[in-house]
Structure 1
Amino acid sequence: MKRIFIVMCWMVISLMAVGQEEDPKAILDKMSSVYKAMPGYEIGFIQKVMSEAEVVDRLTGEASVSKSMFLIKFQDQHIYCNGTVLWTYLVESQELTISNFEPEEAVINPSNVYDIYKEGFTYAYKRQDNINGEMVHVVELTSTDSDSDFTNVIMYIGQKDSFLKAWDLIDYAGVKTAFEVSAFKPSVTFPEGYFEFDEEKNPVQYKEDLRN
Protein backbone atom coordinates (compact mmCIF):
# COMPACT_ATOMS: atom_id res chain seq x y z
CA MET A 1 0.00 0.00 0.00
CA LYS A 2 2.88 2.31 0.89
CA ARG A 3 4.53 1.53 -2.45
CA ILE A 4 1.31 2.39 -4.36
CA PHE A 5 1.08 5.68 -2.48
CA ILE A 6 4.69 6.55 -3.37
CA VAL A 7 4.10 5.71 -7.05
CA MET A 8 0.97 7.86 -7.13
CA CYS A 9 2.83 10.77 -5.53
CA TRP A 10 5.61 10.43 -8.14
CA MET A 11 3.00 10.50 -10.93
CA VAL A 12 1.38 13.66 -9.53
CA ILE A 13 4.77 15.39 -9.25
CA SER A 14 5.62 14.35 -12.82
CA LEU A 15 2.33 15.72 -14.14
CA MET A 16 2.90 18.99 -12.30
CA ALA A 17 6.34 19.28 -13.91
CA VAL A 18 4.87 18.70 -17.37
CA GLY A 19 2.24 21.35 -16.72
CA GLN A 20 4.98 23.81 -15.73
CA GLU A 21 6.97 23.04 -18.90
CA GLU A 22 3.89 23.72 -20.99
CA ASP A 23 3.33 27.24 -19.72
CA PRO A 24 1.81 29.08 -22.72
CA LYS A 25 3.40 32.44 -21.85
CA ALA A 26 6.87 30.90 -21.70
CA ILE A 27 6.31 29.24 -25.09
CA LEU A 28 5.04 32.46 -26.67
CA ASP A 29 7.82 34.55 -25.11
CA LYS A 30 10.45 32.16 -26.46
CA MET A 31 8.92 32.29 -29.95
CA SER A 32 8.87 36.10 -29.85
CA SER A 33 12.50 36.38 -28.71
CA VAL A 34 13.68 33.94 -31.41
CA TYR A 35 12.10 35.97 -34.22
CA LYS A 36 13.16 39.33 -32.79
CA ALA A 37 16.78 38.19 -32.66
CA MET A 38 16.83 37.71 -36.44
CA PRO A 39 17.72 40.55 -38.85
CA GLY A 40 14.98 39.13 -41.07
CA TYR A 41 13.52 35.95 -42.51
CA GLU A 42 11.72 34.49 -45.53
CA ILE A 43 8.80 32.08 -45.52
CA GLY A 44 6.74 30.19 -48.04
CA PHE A 45 3.20 29.53 -46.88
CA ILE A 46 0.04 27.69 -47.84
CA GLN A 47 -3.38 29.18 -47.16
CA LYS A 48 -6.01 26.49 -46.82
CA VAL A 49 -9.49 27.49 -47.94
CA MET A 50 -11.90 25.73 -45.58
CA SER A 51 -15.51 24.67 -45.97
CA GLU A 52 -16.64 23.57 -42.54
CA ALA A 53 -13.86 21.14 -41.54
CA GLU A 54 -12.71 20.27 -45.06
CA VAL A 55 -9.94 21.84 -47.13
CA VAL A 56 -11.43 22.76 -50.51
CA ASP A 57 -8.48 24.66 -51.99
CA ARG A 58 -4.86 25.52 -51.29
CA LEU A 59 -3.30 28.86 -52.21
CA THR A 60 0.43 29.50 -52.01
CA GLY A 61 2.38 32.64 -51.21
CA GLU A 62 5.65 33.91 -49.82
CA ALA A 63 6.75 36.65 -47.45
CA SER A 64 9.97 38.43 -46.52
CA VAL A 65 10.15 40.18 -43.14
CA SER A 66 12.65 42.43 -41.38
CA LYS A 67 11.52 43.99 -38.09
CA SER A 68 8.53 46.24 -38.99
CA MET A 69 9.03 45.86 -42.76
CA PHE A 70 7.59 43.16 -44.98
CA LEU A 71 6.91 42.06 -48.55
CA ILE A 72 4.08 39.63 -49.28
CA LYS A 73 3.54 37.97 -52.64
CA PHE A 74 0.20 36.19 -52.71
CA GLN A 75 -1.62 35.23 -55.87
CA ASP A 76 -1.82 38.34 -58.09
CA GLN A 77 -1.09 40.75 -55.24
CA HIS A 78 2.25 42.06 -54.00
CA ILE A 79 2.26 44.09 -50.77
CA TYR A 80 5.31 46.16 -49.82
CA CYS A 81 5.73 47.87 -46.46
CA ASN A 82 8.77 49.81 -45.25
CA GLY A 83 7.24 50.33 -41.80
CA THR A 84 5.49 53.61 -42.63
CA VAL A 85 4.21 53.32 -46.23
CA LEU A 86 2.17 50.49 -47.73
CA TRP A 87 2.20 49.73 -51.47
CA THR A 88 -0.38 47.27 -52.82
CA TYR A 89 0.34 46.19 -56.38
CA LEU A 90 -1.94 44.07 -58.58
CA VAL A 91 0.43 42.39 -61.02
CA GLU A 92 -1.98 41.45 -63.80
CA SER A 93 -3.83 44.79 -64.02
CA GLN A 94 -0.73 46.79 -63.06
CA GLU A 95 -2.65 48.81 -60.47
CA LEU A 96 -0.84 50.43 -57.55
CA THR A 97 -2.36 51.78 -54.34
CA ILE A 98 -0.21 53.71 -51.86
CA SER A 99 -1.32 54.37 -48.29
CA ASN A 100 0.02 55.09 -44.84
CA PHE A 101 0.73 51.92 -42.91
CA GLU A 102 -1.44 51.79 -39.80
CA PRO A 103 -0.20 48.89 -37.64
CA GLU A 104 -3.13 49.19 -35.23
CA GLU A 105 -5.58 48.57 -38.10
CA ALA A 106 -3.72 45.51 -39.35
CA VAL A 107 -4.47 43.14 -36.48
CA ILE A 108 -2.15 40.47 -37.86
CA ASN A 109 0.65 41.01 -40.34
CA PRO A 110 3.95 39.19 -40.98
CA SER A 111 5.92 41.64 -38.86
CA ASN A 112 3.83 41.25 -35.71
CA VAL A 113 2.36 37.74 -35.80
CA TYR A 114 4.86 36.54 -33.19
CA ASP A 115 3.96 39.43 -30.85
CA ILE A 116 0.17 39.74 -31.07
CA TYR A 117 -0.40 37.73 -27.88
CA LYS A 118 1.03 40.59 -25.81
CA GLU A 119 -2.01 42.83 -26.17
CA GLY A 120 -5.72 42.19 -26.75
CA PHE A 121 -5.58 38.43 -26.24
CA THR A 122 -5.66 35.84 -23.51
CA TYR A 123 -3.94 32.54 -24.20
CA ALA A 124 -4.08 28.90 -23.13
CA TYR A 125 -2.04 25.78 -23.79
CA LYS A 126 -4.16 23.23 -25.67
CA ARG A 127 -2.06 20.18 -26.53
CA GLN A 128 0.96 18.78 -28.33
CA ASP A 129 0.63 17.91 -32.01
CA ASN A 130 2.63 16.72 -35.00
CA ILE A 131 3.04 18.79 -38.18
CA ASN A 132 5.00 17.19 -41.00
CA GLY A 133 6.92 15.01 -38.57
CA GLU A 134 7.74 17.84 -36.12
CA MET A 135 6.29 18.06 -32.64
CA VAL A 136 4.62 21.38 -31.88
CA HIS A 137 3.00 23.14 -28.96
CA VAL A 138 -0.57 24.22 -29.74
CA VAL A 139 -1.46 27.53 -28.06
CA GLU A 140 -4.84 29.22 -28.52
CA LEU A 141 -5.21 32.99 -28.30
CA THR A 142 -8.65 34.41 -27.54
CA SER A 143 -9.39 38.04 -28.41
CA THR A 144 -10.52 40.42 -25.68
CA ASP A 145 -11.30 43.15 -28.24
CA SER A 146 -14.86 43.16 -29.57
CA ASP A 147 -13.68 45.06 -32.66
CA SER A 148 -11.10 42.43 -33.58
CA ASP A 149 -11.43 40.65 -36.93
CA PHE A 150 -10.81 37.31 -35.24
CA THR A 151 -12.08 35.72 -32.07
CA ASN A 152 -9.32 33.12 -31.89
CA VAL A 153 -5.85 32.51 -33.24
CA ILE A 154 -4.41 29.02 -32.86
CA MET A 155 -0.61 28.81 -33.08
CA TYR A 156 1.46 25.70 -33.75
CA ILE A 157 4.94 26.39 -32.39
CA GLY A 158 7.91 24.07 -32.91
CA GLN A 159 9.09 22.41 -29.72
CA LYS A 160 12.73 22.28 -30.85
CA ASP A 161 13.23 25.64 -32.57
CA SER A 162 10.26 27.79 -31.39
CA PHE A 163 9.44 28.63 -35.03
CA LEU A 164 5.81 29.18 -35.95
CA LYS A 165 4.88 26.19 -38.12
CA ALA A 166 1.20 27.02 -38.74
CA TRP A 167 -1.65 29.18 -37.50
CA ASP A 168 -5.45 29.21 -37.75
CA LEU A 169 -7.58 32.35 -37.75
CA ILE A 170 -11.19 31.98 -36.60
CA ASP A 171 -13.67 34.82 -37.16
CA TYR A 172 -16.93 35.69 -35.40
CA ALA A 173 -18.92 33.45 -37.75
CA GLY A 174 -16.73 30.51 -36.77
CA VAL A 175 -15.06 30.41 -40.19
CA LYS A 176 -11.46 29.19 -40.02
CA THR A 177 -8.64 30.27 -42.30
CA ALA A 178 -5.64 27.99 -41.94
CA PHE A 179 -2.03 28.79 -42.82
CA GLU A 180 0.95 26.46 -42.89
CA VAL A 181 4.61 27.35 -43.36
CA SER A 182 5.94 25.35 -46.33
CA ALA A 183 9.48 26.81 -46.33
CA PHE A 184 11.47 28.90 -43.89
CA LYS A 185 14.80 30.68 -44.18
CA PRO A 186 15.90 32.34 -40.92
CA SER A 187 18.41 35.13 -40.28
CA VAL A 188 18.23 36.85 -43.68
CA THR A 189 19.66 40.32 -44.33
CA PHE A 190 17.90 42.35 -47.02
CA PRO A 191 19.39 45.16 -49.15
CA GLU A 192 18.32 48.76 -48.68
CA GLY A 193 15.04 49.58 -50.43
CA TYR A 194 13.99 45.93 -50.65
CA PHE A 195 10.65 46.65 -48.95
CA GLU A 196 9.78 49.67 -51.08
CA PHE A 197 7.91 49.47 -54.38
CA ASP A 198 10.03 50.42 -57.41
CA GLU A 199 7.97 51.87 -60.25
CA GLU A 200 10.93 51.60 -62.62
CA LYS A 201 10.98 47.81 -62.23
CA ASN A 202 7.19 47.29 -62.10
CA PRO A 203 4.93 48.75 -64.81
CA VAL A 204 2.03 50.81 -63.45
CA GLN A 205 -1.07 51.59 -65.54
CA TYR A 206 -3.12 53.08 -62.71
CA LYS A 207 -1.94 54.60 -59.42
CA GLU A 208 -3.90 55.88 -56.44
CA ASP A 209 -2.14 57.62 -53.55
CA LEU A 210 -4.25 57.65 -50.37
CA ARG A 211 -1.65 59.12 -48.05
CA ASN A 212 -2.60 62.19 -46.04
Structure 2
Amino acid sequence: MKKSILAVILLTFVKVTFAQYDPKALEILDAMSKKYKSIPAFEANISYTLTNETEKINEEFKGKITVKGDKYKLVLPEQEVINNGATLWTYLPEAKEVNIDNYDPNSDDLNPSKFYEIYKKGFKYLFLEEKTEGGVLCEVVDLVPEKKDAQYFKVRMNIAKKDKSIQSWTMFDKGGNKYKYSITKFTPSPSVSDGMFTFDPKKYPGVEVIDLR
Protein backbone atom coordinates (compact mmCIF):
# COMPACT_ATOMS: atom_id res chain seq x y z
CA MET A 1 0.00 0.00 0.00
CA LYS A 2 2.83 2.36 0.95
CA LYS A 3 4.59 1.64 -2.33
CA SER A 4 1.50 2.42 -4.40
CA ILE A 5 0.97 5.74 -2.58
CA LEU A 6 4.60 6.65 -3.12
CA ALA A 7 4.31 5.76 -6.81
CA VAL A 8 1.29 8.03 -7.20
CA ILE A 9 3.11 10.90 -5.50
CA LEU A 10 6.17 10.45 -7.72
CA LEU A 11 4.04 10.19 -10.87
CA THR A 12 2.18 13.37 -9.95
CA PHE A 13 5.47 15.16 -9.31
CA VAL A 14 6.83 14.09 -12.70
CA LYS A 15 3.68 15.24 -14.50
CA VAL A 16 3.78 18.66 -12.83
CA THR A 17 7.48 19.08 -13.53
CA PHE A 18 7.21 18.32 -17.25
CA ALA A 19 3.99 20.30 -17.58
CA GLN A 20 5.99 23.43 -16.80
CA TYR A 21 7.18 23.38 -20.42
CA ASP A 22 4.14 21.72 -21.96
CA PRO A 23 4.75 20.88 -25.66
CA LYS A 24 1.05 21.32 -26.49
CA ALA A 25 1.11 24.80 -24.95
CA LEU A 26 4.28 25.62 -26.90
CA GLU A 27 2.68 24.53 -30.16
CA ILE A 28 -0.30 26.85 -29.53
CA LEU A 29 1.90 29.77 -28.48
CA ASP A 30 4.23 29.39 -31.47
CA ALA A 31 1.27 29.41 -33.88
CA MET A 32 -0.15 32.50 -32.18
CA SER A 33 3.22 34.28 -32.27
CA LYS A 34 3.70 33.48 -35.98
CA LYS A 35 0.31 35.02 -36.76
CA TYR A 36 1.10 38.38 -35.12
CA LYS A 37 4.70 38.57 -36.34
CA SER A 38 3.42 38.41 -39.92
CA ILE A 39 1.45 41.64 -39.39
CA PRO A 40 3.59 44.84 -39.81
CA ALA A 41 1.21 46.95 -37.71
CA PHE A 42 -2.15 46.68 -35.98
CA GLU A 43 -4.70 48.53 -33.87
CA ALA A 44 -6.89 46.97 -31.21
CA ASN A 45 -9.69 48.22 -29.01
CA ILE A 46 -9.26 46.79 -25.54
CA SER A 47 -11.56 46.26 -22.59
CA TYR A 48 -9.54 46.37 -19.37
CA THR A 49 -10.89 44.99 -16.08
CA LEU A 50 -9.29 45.12 -12.62
CA THR A 51 -10.77 42.86 -9.95
CA ASN A 52 -9.79 41.96 -6.39
CA GLU A 53 -12.25 39.81 -4.46
CA THR A 54 -10.67 40.50 -1.06
CA GLU A 55 -10.61 44.28 -1.52
CA LYS A 56 -14.01 44.30 -3.26
CA ILE A 57 -12.52 45.99 -6.33
CA ASN A 58 -14.26 45.70 -9.69
CA GLU A 59 -13.25 48.37 -12.21
CA GLU A 60 -13.56 48.42 -15.98
CA PHE A 61 -11.99 50.71 -18.55
CA LYS A 62 -11.74 50.80 -22.30
CA GLY A 63 -8.64 51.65 -24.26
CA LYS A 64 -6.87 51.40 -27.58
CA ILE A 65 -3.44 50.20 -28.57
CA THR A 66 -1.57 50.84 -31.81
CA VAL A 67 1.52 48.75 -32.55
CA LYS A 68 4.14 49.01 -35.30
CA GLY A 69 7.19 46.81 -34.87
CA ASP A 70 8.79 47.68 -31.50
CA LYS A 71 6.76 50.89 -31.22
CA TYR A 72 3.41 51.25 -29.48
CA LYS A 73 0.88 53.77 -28.20
CA LEU A 74 -1.49 52.70 -25.45
CA VAL A 75 -4.39 55.04 -24.67
CA LEU A 76 -6.35 54.50 -21.44
CA PRO A 77 -8.84 56.84 -19.70
CA GLU A 78 -6.29 58.20 -17.20
CA GLN A 79 -3.03 57.94 -19.12
CA GLU A 80 -1.29 57.47 -22.44
CA VAL A 81 1.88 55.42 -22.80
CA ILE A 82 3.99 56.00 -25.90
CA ASN A 83 7.10 54.04 -26.82
CA ASN A 84 9.24 54.57 -29.93
CA GLY A 85 11.56 51.69 -29.09
CA ALA A 86 14.10 53.92 -27.31
CA THR A 87 12.12 56.44 -25.24
CA LEU A 88 9.06 55.91 -23.05
CA TRP A 89 6.54 58.71 -22.43
CA THR A 90 3.76 58.42 -19.83
CA TYR A 91 1.25 61.24 -20.23
CA LEU A 92 -1.26 61.99 -17.44
CA PRO A 93 -3.97 64.30 -18.84
CA GLU A 94 -5.55 65.16 -15.46
CA ALA A 95 -2.22 66.12 -13.90
CA LYS A 96 -1.08 67.81 -17.12
CA GLU A 97 2.31 66.14 -16.91
CA VAL A 98 4.40 63.75 -18.95
CA ASN A 99 7.16 61.54 -17.57
CA ILE A 100 10.01 60.70 -19.94
CA ASP A 101 12.33 57.75 -19.42
CA ASN A 102 14.70 55.59 -21.40
CA TYR A 103 13.10 52.36 -22.54
CA ASP A 104 14.86 49.18 -21.46
CA PRO A 105 13.45 46.19 -23.37
CA ASN A 106 15.19 43.76 -21.00
CA SER A 107 13.21 45.04 -18.01
CA ASP A 108 9.81 44.94 -19.69
CA ASP A 109 8.57 41.35 -19.80
CA LEU A 110 5.01 42.49 -20.49
CA ASN A 111 5.63 45.01 -23.26
CA PRO A 112 2.21 45.40 -24.94
CA SER A 113 3.83 45.51 -28.37
CA LYS A 114 5.32 42.07 -27.74
CA PHE A 115 2.56 40.35 -25.79
CA TYR A 116 2.58 37.58 -28.39
CA GLU A 117 6.24 36.78 -27.63
CA ILE A 118 6.50 37.07 -23.84
CA TYR A 119 6.42 33.29 -23.41
CA LYS A 120 9.77 32.90 -25.21
CA LYS A 121 11.90 34.21 -22.36
CA GLY A 122 11.56 33.71 -18.63
CA PHE A 123 8.27 31.79 -18.60
CA LYS A 124 7.04 28.25 -18.11
CA TYR A 125 3.85 27.34 -19.95
CA LEU A 126 1.00 24.90 -19.52
CA PHE A 127 -2.07 24.07 -21.63
CA LEU A 128 -5.15 23.97 -19.37
CA GLU A 129 -8.32 23.40 -21.40
CA GLU A 130 -10.55 24.46 -24.26
CA LYS A 131 -13.11 27.07 -23.28
CA THR A 132 -15.63 29.24 -25.10
CA GLU A 133 -15.24 32.99 -24.51
CA GLY A 134 -17.49 35.52 -26.23
CA GLY A 135 -18.76 32.80 -28.55
CA VAL A 136 -15.21 31.85 -29.61
CA LEU A 137 -13.69 28.46 -28.80
CA CYS A 138 -10.36 29.18 -27.12
CA GLU A 139 -7.32 27.22 -26.00
CA VAL A 140 -6.35 28.34 -22.49
CA VAL A 141 -2.63 28.54 -21.69
CA ASP A 142 -0.99 29.63 -18.44
CA LEU A 143 2.39 31.36 -18.39
CA VAL A 144 4.31 31.26 -15.09
CA PRO A 145 7.42 33.46 -14.57
CA GLU A 146 10.63 31.62 -13.80
CA LYS A 147 11.67 34.45 -11.46
CA LYS A 148 10.14 34.09 -8.02
CA ASP A 149 10.20 37.87 -7.46
CA ALA A 150 8.28 38.68 -10.66
CA GLN A 151 5.51 41.27 -10.34
CA TYR A 152 2.94 38.82 -11.73
CA PHE A 153 2.86 35.18 -10.69
CA LYS A 154 0.74 34.07 -13.65
CA VAL A 155 -0.51 35.23 -17.06
CA ARG A 156 -3.48 33.35 -18.51
CA MET A 157 -4.03 33.58 -22.27
CA ASN A 158 -7.21 32.68 -24.15
CA ILE A 159 -6.24 31.96 -27.76
CA ALA A 160 -8.83 31.30 -30.46
CA LYS A 161 -8.46 27.69 -31.60
CA LYS A 162 -9.49 28.44 -35.19
CA ASP A 163 -7.14 31.28 -36.16
CA LYS A 164 -4.79 31.55 -33.11
CA SER A 165 -5.78 35.15 -32.41
CA ILE A 166 -5.67 36.34 -28.80
CA GLN A 167 -9.11 36.89 -27.33
CA SER A 168 -7.92 37.95 -23.89
CA TRP A 169 -5.13 37.68 -21.35
CA THR A 170 -5.26 38.03 -17.57
CA MET A 171 -2.36 38.94 -15.28
CA PHE A 172 -2.46 37.82 -11.64
CA ASP A 173 -0.33 39.63 -9.06
CA LYS A 174 0.60 38.63 -5.51
CA GLY A 175 -1.75 41.22 -4.00
CA GLY A 176 -4.81 39.38 -5.30
CA ASN A 177 -5.37 41.72 -8.26
CA LYS A 178 -6.48 40.35 -11.63
CA TYR A 179 -5.89 42.51 -14.68
CA LYS A 180 -7.84 41.25 -17.68
CA TYR A 181 -7.40 42.64 -21.19
CA SER A 182 -9.95 41.59 -23.81
CA ILE A 183 -9.62 42.50 -27.48
CA THR A 184 -13.00 43.79 -28.67
CA LYS A 185 -11.91 44.95 -32.12
CA PHE A 186 -8.79 44.15 -34.13
CA THR A 187 -7.57 46.02 -37.23
CA PRO A 188 -4.54 44.52 -39.01
CA SER A 189 -2.16 46.64 -41.10
CA PRO A 190 -3.57 50.14 -40.47
CA SER A 191 -1.82 53.14 -42.01
CA VAL A 192 0.23 54.66 -39.15
CA SER A 193 3.25 56.97 -39.27
CA ASP A 194 6.29 56.77 -36.97
CA GLY A 195 5.36 60.23 -35.66
CA MET A 196 2.45 58.66 -33.82
CA PHE A 197 4.93 57.04 -31.44
CA THR A 198 6.55 60.25 -30.20
CA PHE A 199 5.15 62.69 -27.63
CA ASP A 200 5.40 66.33 -28.74
CA PRO A 201 4.96 68.70 -25.73
CA LYS A 202 4.21 71.60 -28.10
CA LYS A 203 0.88 69.98 -28.90
CA TYR A 204 -0.07 70.01 -25.19
CA PRO A 205 0.03 73.63 -23.92
CA GLY A 206 0.78 73.85 -20.20
CA VAL A 207 2.02 70.28 -19.84
CA GLU A 208 4.79 69.77 -17.26
CA VAL A 209 7.68 67.72 -18.62
CA ILE A 210 9.42 65.49 -16.06
CA ASP A 211 12.57 64.05 -17.61
CA LEU A 212 13.75 60.99 -15.66
CA ARG A 213 16.55 60.02 -18.02
TM-score bin (small chain):
0.7 to 0.9
- Call closer, same or farther: CA 1:157–1:81 in 2, change over 3 Å: same
TM-score of the superposed pair, with normalisation by structure 1: 0.84
| 1:38 partner SS | coil
- Assess if the C-alpha contact under 8 Å between 2:168 and 2:182 holds in 1: yes
- Call closer, same or farther: CA 1:202–1:161 in 2, change over 3 Å: farther
Match of 2:27 in 1: 26
CA deviation digits over 1:121-150, x for unaligned, max 9?
111110111111111110011111123111
Higher mean C-alpha deviation, range 75-84 or range 201-210: 201-210
Moved over 6 A (4+): none
Q: CA RMSD in A?
A: 1.8
- Which residue of the other structure, out of 87, 90, 107, is the alignment partner of 1:88? 90
- Assess if the C-alpha contact under 8 Å between 1:48 and 1:56 holds in 2: yes
- Call closer, same or farther: CA 1:174–1:192 in 2, change over 3 Å: closer
- Assess if the C-alpha contact under 8 Å between 2:129 and 2:140 holds in 1: yes
CA deviation digits over 1:13-45, x for unaligned, max 9?
xxxxxxxxx811111001111111111111111
Matches within 5 A, 1:16-165: 23-52=24-53, 56-165=58-167
Q: CA deviation at 1:188?
A: 2.3
| Unaligned segments of structure 2, at least 5 residues | 1-22
- Call closer, same or farther: CA 1:72–1:204 in 2, change over 3 Å: farther
- Call closer, same or farther: CA 1:131–1:101 in 2, change over 3 Å: same
Match of 1:172 in 2: 174
TM-score of the superposed pair, with normalisation by structure 2: 0.83
* One-letter amino acid of the structure 1 residue matched with residue 97 of structure 2: E
- Assess if the C-alpha contact under 8 Å between 2:52 and 2:176 holds in 1: no
Q: CA deviation at 1:156?
A: 0.4
| 1:111 partner SS | helix
Alignment of 1:197 with 2:208, yes or no, is no
- What is the rounded CA distance, in whole Å, between the counterparts of 1:65 and 1:201 in structure 2? 22
Q: What is the aligned residue count? A: 190
- What is the rounded CA distance, in whole Å, between the counterparts of 1:147 and 1:111 in structure 2? 23
- Call closer, same or farther: CA 1:172–1:128 in 2, change over 3 Å: same
- What is the rounded CA distance, in whole Å, between the counterparts of 1:40 and 1:123 in structure 2? 27
Structure with greater proportional helix content: 2
- What is the rounded CA distance, in whole Å, between the counterparts of 1:50 and 1:97 in structure 2? 27
- Assess if the C-alpha contact under 8 Å between 1:94 and 1:203 holds in 2: no
Q: How high is the sequence identity, in percent, across the aligned residues?
A: 32
